[in-house]
Structure 1
């Protein structure tokens, strides 16, 4: 059974866009987020005087569809942030507009711990591929005892839970096909693997929703160019080609890796090369339900369970059991 997590958020100045802190019950880690304009107030706080890791977040200056991230560590995080706040011609960084600081409530993080976390976070962010990592390479971490490595891996696990709650997806793993397939055999609330075809072009794409993200799976095929009468997602199509997400595959293109889209319609548009309604075009091949119908059935099933009446969709599912 998957257990829930209690994440405690505190809005320091009472506004959703201001500084905030985040913690998980029984975790010694502490996370603080602040916009660049709040840096003067942030630097007055005790948290930034500790050893820790920091993330600088902003838009990728070379790609309007991507985010950028810089990951660093310091004995005193605040001093490093002070340097990064300068303009680039003075040794700072211009791209970032938000900072995330990860420290420990018990102040037990050492320089070696921070170096380990920095190295692992950089590697994780590069593998996830959700943001452009501006760090050149991941530094070699300082040697740690086995018990400390275990503690730091737990720290990373908790951080990867909290950061998406703050809207930071850079360290969030993109599920692979192997991890997604079994979900289609679970409960009605778990997403099946949907398919989309463009028969005239020999295109077949597969996707699944997981953790409220729509993931098109590697080896799915897509149209080689944009043929739609309106721009729509044409720029996104171009970006995925230039970034190597879509690669030549005969007369079409193919996804070189699993890729997360913001919506099923964005995914459908890239696959078809024109604007299309993803709620209709993505279908579950085992039931014939469209993505939209699958969502609607989930709502009806939930209402039926609450009222004690068995819904038609539940009856249909039970009749299909061996």
Structure 2
């Protein structure tokens, strides 16, 4: 089992929508975050006079469901944030609504350290694919002694733990079902997984497979999907169109598409709707493979089993 962590949050002005700090016990890092509406107070904080990496996040003005994120570094973060706060015509950035700064409590982060962290963070964010990374070029900085690289690897690991708890999800690692066979991969350790589920539609000759990994419901690669949205307008129709536009579904052949890779959804109903091209209740549409047990029934079994054996909550390979 993975080891628990304690994260200490402090609401600077006593409100949940203001500035806050976050720390992990026995980690030298310090996180400061707040909305753009609190920009004047943010840049007055002493953390903004230190060396650190920072993130600017906000909705995509072009209408993508993914947020935009900019990742930067500076030994004078207050100055850089003031530059970003200008209008686009003055070289600033208009899209961001929240800022986050990571510095060190012991003031031992050097310019070389933060440039190294920035390089790694940009790469990780792009590979994760949770947000649109607006950095125009991939920066490459690797000039650190071996011991410092090890220290920064640990520092980076803590950043990836604390940021999602603050709503900055762009660094979160996703383990796909296809990766679970890579037993030597560190990313697959302590992963919880469900049995494989199956969804069929005899009317449209659709057969799809899904699996829940760490709370996310994946439709598996090569599963069938409807070629188009076939029902009345629904919120899931936009999701269907987005999945198609992302290239996650192949071109229609004989009235069907196929998933070109494992694809994560936030619920079995969202997954079922995209597969069938219409609104659907995923809790009753997905069945444990080769059985008559629905997703809802399987969940109920896990709840009952947890009273006696917590380790049986999820099936593991």
**What's the TM-score once normalised by structure 1's chain length?**
0.87
User: How far is the alpha carbon of 1:205 from its aligned partner?
Assistant: 2.5
User: How far is the alpha carbon of 1:258 from its aligned partner?
Assistant: 2.9
> Residue 288 of structure 2: SS of its match in structure 1?
coil
Answer yes or no: is the 8 Å Cα contact 2:103–2:109 preserved in 1. Answer: yes
| Two-structure CA RMSD over aligned residues (Å) | 2.5
User: How far is the alpha carbon of 1:43 from its aligned partner?
Assistant: 0.7
Indicate yes or no: 2:78 matched with 1:78: yes
User: Aligned in 2, Cα 1:161/1:218: closer, same or farther, shift over 3 Å?
Assistant: farther
Counterpart Cα distance in 1 of 2:290 and 2:26: 43
Match of 1:67 in 2: 67
Answer yes or no: is the 8 Å Cα contact 1:119–1:138 preserved in 2. Answer: yes
User: Aligned in 2, Cα 1:15/1:69: closer, same or farther, shift over 3 Å?
Assistant: same
User: How far is the alpha carbon of 1:111 from its aligned partner?
Assistant: 1.2
| Structure 1 unmatched runs, 5+ | 307-312, 318-322
Match of 1:310 in 2: none
User: How far is the alpha carbon of 1:249 from its aligned partner?
Assistant: 5.7
Counterpart Cα distance in 1 of 2:293 and 2:80: 53
> Residue 283 of structure 2: SS of its match in structure 1?
helix
Match of 1:295 in 2: 299
Match of 1:211 in 2: 214
Q: Which moved more, 1:89-98 or 1:212-221?
A: 212-221
> Residue 247 of structure 1: SS of its match in structure 2?
coil
User: Aligned in 2, Cα 1:61/1:116: closer, same or farther, shift over 3 Å?
Assistant: same
Match of 1:113 in 2: 113
User: How far is the alpha carbon of 1:202 from its aligned partner?
Assistant: 3.3
Q: Tell me the number of residue pairs that the alignment of Structure 1 and Structure 2 aligns.
A: 306
* Superposed counterparts of 1:193-204, under 5 Å: 193-204=196-207
**What's the TM-score once normalised by structure 2's chain length?**
0.89
State which of 254, 267, 282 in structure 2 corresponds to 1:278.
282
User: Aligned in 2, Cα 1:302/1:35: closer, same or farther, shift over 3 Å?
Assistant: same
Counterpart Cα distance in 2 of 1:271 and 1:47: 48
User: How far is the alpha carbon of 1:194 from its aligned partner?
Assistant: 2.1
User: How far is the alpha carbon of 1:146 from its aligned partner?
Assistant: 1.1
CA deviation profile, 1:142-181 (whole Å, cap 9, x unmatched): 4111111111111111111111111221111221224446
Q: Which runs of 4+ in 1 moved over 6 A?
A: none
> Residue 96 of structure 1: SS of its match in structure 2?
coil
CA deviation profile, 1:61-108 (whole Å, cap 9, x unmatched): 123422111111111112111111111111111111001111111111
CA deviation profile, 1:35-59 (whole Å, cap 9, x unmatched): 0111111111111111111111111
Match of 2:187 in 1: none
CA deviation profile, 1:179-232 (whole Å, cap 9, x unmatched): 44699xxx9x74222222223333333322233222323333311110012333
> Residue 68 of structure 1: SS of its match in structure 2?
strand
Counterpart Cα distance in 1 of 2:30 and 2:261: 33
User: Aligned in 2, Cα 1:258/1:14: closer, same or farther, shift over 3 Å?
Assistant: farther
Match of 1:239 in 2: 242
User: Aligned in 2, Cα 1:180/1:291: closer, same or farther, shift over 3 Å?
Assistant: farther
